[in-house]
Amino acid sequence: MSELSALTFAWPWLIILLPLIWVVWWWLPAGPQSAPRVPFAEAWRSAAGAASWHQMLTPRSLILLLVWLCLVLAAMRPQVPGERDDILLSGRQMMLLVDLSLSMSINDMRVNGQQTDRLTAVKHILEDFIPGRQGDQIGLIVFGSQAYVHVPVTPDLAMLTQLVDEMEIGMAGPRTALGEALALGVMHLDETREARADDERVIILLSDGAQTIGNVFPREAGIFARDHNITIHAIGFGSDDGGPGGSPSDIDEPALIAIAETTGGQYFRARTSTDLSAIYAAIDELEPTDSQQRFVRHARDVFYWPAGLALVLLLGMGWLPSLWPRGRKEVP
């Protein structure tokens, strides 16, 4: 009963089809006797010759009218509320920019006591950071010699975490197009911006080197982000000596500091995976989720209720010969 009280129709305008059966009955001429027997047409042609409405409202004509009503209701696509889905919503959209140049393969990080490369350490920290941002919409841009959107801004953080795990060193090329990655992040956030005045958009940039390719300079990209009201938190990543057999870090710290300060963000230096974990905790403090729990109900189609009733009525007419006499009286 509660579902019926919440019944709605997706296409209510199809109610205009309801009088169609009377239009057909009134205008459709009787076919030749040799024509195939059509129960609907015969029933209503028989009713057309009746002398009064009382004679027209026979059991079979009433049932056919009810069948037509059920079919029209089914065509109107009746719906009832479906299962409740709880969602967390906030005004923050966040884009992660991850450097996948060849230098991310340097083994100068430790994760769970094991020596590992920089990208593995980044994945390990992101897989803890992302699930804690429930209510935010987060995307992922990877960059090397070129930058591209690996994951568009999405509230599906489980899917994002899975795709973070699938990142590979060199998949975007061996070099570092830092400025182009930033510009792409700004443009993508601007395209997906929600139509609310209180939305907050953030870019978290993680790079272990300086720009080596690209037509957009990092400082110019920082100004571009500032003009679009986007905050950038920049993280310079990698040990100072490059680890066992490595070389000193070539992070362009002045550029990263300038980018962060231009947009009102902060610059962080991560020399170990522990540093990186602490930095993401600090970003959580700077950019709290501040989300509100809401819920949505997806409509559930129930067109099969009236359609099923129409089928039962037609089958019932076939099982009751008294409603379908083999012959019909001719009306003078």
Domains of the chain, residue spans: 2-81+299-323, 88-290
3-state secondary structure of 153: strand
Q: Among 268, 259, 261, which residue's Cα sits nearest to residue 235? A: 268
Note the helical H segments in 76-113: none
Going residue by residue through the chain (332 aa), what tens digit of pLDDT does each one get?
A: 555 667 888 888 888 888 887 776 666 555 444 444 545 455 545 544 544 455 556 777 788 888 889 999 999 988 887 676 655 555 578 999 999 999 888 888 878 778 888 899 899 889 888 988 887 889 999 999 999 999 999 988 999 999 999 999 999 999 999 999 999 999 999 887 654 445 678 999 999 888 889 889 999 999 999 999 999 999 988 777 655 544 556 788 899 999 999 999 999 988 887 888 888 888 877 777 655 555 556 678 888 888 888 888 888 777 765 545 544 444 44
Residue 196: predicted pLDDT: 45
Task: Write down the pTM of the prediction.
Answer: 0.61
Nearest to 188 by CA among 225, 214, 235: 225
186 Rama sector, left if φ>0, alpha if ψ -120 to 50, beta otherwise: alpha
Characterize the bridge pairing of strands 137-143 and 92-99: parallel
- What pLDDT sits at residue 39? 52
Dist. CA 271–CA 200, nearest whole Å: 29
Q: Is 3.40.50.410 the CATH classification of the domain at 88-290?
A: yes
Residue 26 is predicted with a pLDDT of 66
Provide the b/e sequence for 193-222 (b: ≥16 CB within 10 Å). Answer: eeeeeeebbbbbbbbbbbbbbbebbbbebb
Contact of 64 with 323, CB cutoff 8 Å: no
Q: Which long-range contacts (CB under 8 A, 24 or more apart) does 1-7 make?
A: 3/80, 3/81, 3/302, 4/80, 6/80, 6/81, 7/78, 7/79, 7/80, 7/302
Distance, CA of 283 to CA of 135 (rounded, Å):
16
* Distance (Å, whole) CA 47 – CA 60: 10
Contact 17, 75 (CB under 8 A): yes
Angstrom distance (rounded) from CA 107 to CA 326: 90
pLDDT value for 148: 93
Rounded-to-integer distance, Cα 266 and Cα 231, Å: 9
**Measured on CA atoms in the order 127, 193, 177, 271, is the torsion positive or negative?**
negative
By CB atoms closer than 10 A (0-12, 13-18, 19+), residue 149 is middle
H or E element, residue 8: strand 8-9
